[in-house]
């Protein structure tokens, strides 16, 4: 029996192909398919060639090398260093402006040219490199800034050029920071460099009581040489210092000078700062920038956790004492950690803080002593007070004002003054030691009744 559908369901093929409209359609479709195939093969081929012939390096904004590469790219290039082509807009730069205080000028401003977003072609040591700087659609969840990426592309055969570039960029970054101290502060959940790197503060410019500076500096240097000792004994490689004493006695200045001496930076967290809490503190401890001293200012803030709310309903810092201890003890802390805690109120601290690895050394940086007053005088007037007579009269005046003990050191003064106040007096009377002696009354602390 024949199939009843076989004759009725299909049109005979030759009828179809004899139809000019249909045949034309097939022809066009065939051409389209061939073109699509050719395009796909071309793309595949191009990406194969790209993979075989080109080498890419991607640098993300989160990586430490990102600013180095950006700075390297912004270097003035010799003639021919930039290549003009229809495809590239190589003269697109973006501007970075840094302002800072300079003596006798209201503001000193520096401008830096940075490669703008988009694609640039540069020539370096006879190799052509394509530089693509682009913003990503994702953003840093704490700062809200979009992620960025720089892609460097060169011929595969010339890929060694990347080593040169990274080496040069690193060297450039090192020389830019030579003689400077980098300062980092917490921003959101991240550390960020704040301000320009500061000129290193010489240790001699901070005058502490006799032997104090030497003791701390010696201890830190000793610690830095003993990494293996700690590792062999399975002890976390950390050392903590607590500096306490009245404001203006030189605690922060000393830490900055010490960092300069060790060629370290300083990473600062102010524990009384708004918005800082236990979780954030613990997280920041895990990411402390390498080769920096961690400075925890106002350590006592963790002990007066709940203050009276102010007008805006702010009830003080949210770091608790146990939060601070957890952060200090945390397992995820970096390779080496030198932490300095400072406070003006030692009485508010808890002795649980004084444990190896948390706080190993406690030093009082107190009211100015006779020794410090004399040393500060020497630093400011040493070159004009040849016979030391001015210094003697200044010290006698401070004894008279009951600010420092007499020469024998027997009578304790009833009042005291800070090194910051003495520095202020000397700065006001630059090269005028008589003026400084005359105005020494100004060093008596004033107590204002509210």
Mask: binding to ligand ADP, 417-446, rule CB under 6 A, as x and -? Answer: --xx--x-----------------------
> Site for ligand ADP (CB under 6 A): which residue of 250, 265, 323, 390?
250
Residue 79's Cβ-count burial label (10 Å; 0-12, 13-18, 19+) is exposed
> Site for ligand ADP (CB under 6 A): which residue of 90, 161, 165, 206?
206
Alpha-carbon Rg for the chain in angstroms: 34
Q: Which is nearer to ligand ADP, 195 or 247 (CB)?
A: 247
The backbone torsions φ and ψ at residue 74, rounded to the nearest 5 degrees and listed phi first, read: -85, -5
Q: Is 295 in the site for ligand ADP (CB under 6 A)?
A: no
Name the strands in the sheet holding 127-139, side by side, starting at the edge strand that comes first in the sequence.
Answer: 54-60, 146-155, 127-139, 118-124
Tell which positions 267-286 bind ligand ADP, by CB under 6 A: none
Spatial distance between the Cα atoms of 252 and 254, rounded to a whole number of angstroms: 5
Q: Is 115 in the site for ligand ADP (CB under 6 A)?
A: no
Mask: binding to ligand ADP, 363-402, rule CB under 6 A, as x and -? Answer: ----------------------------------------
Q: How many residues of this chain interact with ligand ADP, rule: CB under 6 A?
A: 13
In angstroms, give the least distance from the CB of 205 to ligand ADP: 6
Q: Is 248 in the site for ligand ADP (CB under 6 A)?
A: yes
**Residue 404: DSSP 8-state:** S
In angstroms, give the least distance from the CB of 444 to ligand ADP: 17
> Site for ligand ADP (CB under 6 A): which residue of 73, 207, 395, 436?
207
Stretch that binds ligand ADP, among 39-47, 74-82, 246-254, 432-440 (CB under 6 A): 246-254
In angstroms, give the least distance from the CB of 66 to ligand ADP: 32
**Residue 112: DSSP 8-state:** E
The helix, strand and coil proportions of the chain, stated in percent and rounded to the nearest 5, come to: 40, 25, 35
Q: Which is nearer to ligand ADP, 248 or 413 (CB)?
A: 248
Residue 41's Cβ-count burial label (10 Å; 0-12, 13-18, 19+) is exposed
Terminal-residue alpha carbon distance, the chain: 117
Tell which positions 306-335 bind ligand ADP, by CB under 6 A: none
Residue 179's Cβ-count burial label (10 Å; 0-12, 13-18, 19+) is exposed
Q: Is 169 in the site for ligand ADP (CB under 6 A)?
A: no
Q: Is 252 in the site for ligand ADP (CB under 6 A)?
A: yes
Q: Which residues contact 360 (CB under 8 A, 6 or more apart)?
A: 239, 240, 241
**Residue 433: DSSP 8-state:** H
Q: Which is nearer to ligand ADP, 153 or 369 (CB)?
A: 369
Spatial distance between the Cα atoms of 417 and 346, rounded to a whole number of angstroms: 19
Stretch that binds ligand ADP, among 61-69, 94-102, 203-211, 353-361 (CB under 6 A): 203-211
Say how many C-beta atoms besides its own lie within 10 A of residue 119's C-beta.
Answer: 18
In angstroms, give the least distance from the CB of 273 to ligand ADP: 16
Q: Is 208 in the site for ligand ADP (CB under 6 A)?
A: yes
Residue 347's Cβ-count burial label (10 Å; 0-12, 13-18, 19+) is exposed
Q: Is 343 in the site for ligand ADP (CB under 6 A)?
A: no
Q: Which is nearer to ligand ADP, 248 or 323 (CB)?
A: 248
In angstroms, give the least distance from the CB of 182 to ligand ADP: 18
Residue in the shown chain whose Cβ atom is closest to ligand ADP: 250
In angstroms, give the least distance from the CB of 373 to ligand ADP: 10
Stretch that binds ligand ADP, among 104-112, 200-208, 215-223, 305-313 (CB under 6 A): 200-208
Spatial distance between the Cα atoms of 96 and 98, rounded to a whole number of angstroms: 7
Q: How many CA atoms lie within 13 A of 153 on its CB side?
A: 14
Spatial distance between the Cα atoms of 199 and 448, rounded to a whole number of angstroms: 36
Q: Is 119 in the site for ligand ADP (CB under 6 A)?
A: no
Q: Is 154 in the site for ligand ADP (CB under 6 A)?
A: no
Q: Is 253 in the site for ligand ADP (CB under 6 A)?
A: yes
> Site for ligand ADP (CB under 6 A): which residue of 249, 343, 369, 429?
249
Say how many C-beta atoms besides its own lie within 10 A of residue 422's C-beta.
Answer: 24
- Please give the residue ranges that form the binding site for ligand ADP (CB under 6 A): 206-208, 247-253, 419-420, 423
């Amino acid at each position: 029996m024949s199939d009843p559908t076989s004759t009725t369901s299909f049109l005979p093929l030759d009828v179809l192909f004899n139809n000019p409209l249909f045949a034309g359609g097939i022809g066009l479709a065939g051409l389209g398919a061939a073109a699509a195939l050719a395009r796909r093969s071309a793309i595949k081929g191009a990406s194969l060639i790209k993979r075989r012939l080109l080498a890419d390096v991607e640098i993300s904004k989160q990586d430490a090398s990102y600013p180095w590469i950006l700075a390297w790219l912004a270097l003035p290039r010799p003639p021919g260093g930039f290549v003009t082509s229809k495809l590239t807009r190589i003269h697109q730069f973006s501007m970075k402006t840094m302002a800072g205080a300079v003596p006798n000028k209201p503001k000193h401003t520096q401008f830096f040219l940075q490669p703008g977003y988009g694609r640039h072609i540069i020539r370096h040591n006879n190799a052509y490199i394509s530089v693509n700087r682009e913003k990503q659609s994702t953003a840093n969840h704490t700062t809200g800034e979009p992620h960025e990426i720089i892609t460097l592309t060169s011929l595969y055969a010339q890929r060694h050029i990347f080593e040169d570039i990274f080496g040069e960029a690193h060297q450039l970054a090192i020389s830019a920071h030579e003689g400077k101290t980098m300062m980092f502060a917490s921003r959101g959940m991240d550390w960020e460099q704040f301000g320009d790197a500061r000129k290193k503060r010489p240790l001699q410019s901070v005058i502490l009581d006799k032997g104090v500076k030497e003791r701390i500096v010696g201890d830190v240097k000793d610690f830095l040489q003993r990494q293996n000792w700690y590792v062999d004994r399975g002890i976390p490689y950390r050392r903590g210092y607590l500096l306490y004493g009245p404001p203006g006695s030189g605690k922060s200045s000393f830490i900055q000078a010490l960092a300069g001496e060790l060629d370290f930076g300083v990473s600062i967290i102010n524990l009384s700062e708004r918005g800082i809490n236990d979780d954030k503190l613990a997280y920041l401890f895990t990411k402390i920038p390498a080769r920096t001293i961690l400075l925890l200012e106002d350590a006592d803030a963790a002990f007066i956790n709940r203050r009276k709310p102010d007008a805006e309903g702010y009830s003080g810092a949210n770091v608790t004492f146990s939060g601070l201890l957890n952060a200090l003890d945390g397992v995820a802390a970096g390779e080496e950690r030198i932490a300095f805690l400072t406070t003006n109120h030692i009485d508010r601290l808890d002795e649980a803080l004084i444990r190896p690895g948390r706080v190993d050394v406690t030093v009082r940086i107190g009211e100015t002593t006779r020794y410090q007053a004399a040393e500060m005088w020497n630093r400011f007037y040493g070159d004009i007070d040849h016979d030391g007579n001015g210094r003697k009269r200044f010290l006698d005046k401070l004894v008279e004002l009951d600010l420092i003990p007499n020469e024998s050191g027997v009578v304790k003064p009833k009042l005291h003054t800070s090194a910051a106040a003495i520095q202020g007096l000397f700065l006001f009377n630059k090269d005028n030691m008589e003026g400084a002696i005359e105005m020494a009354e100004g060093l008596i602390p004033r107590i204002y009744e509210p």
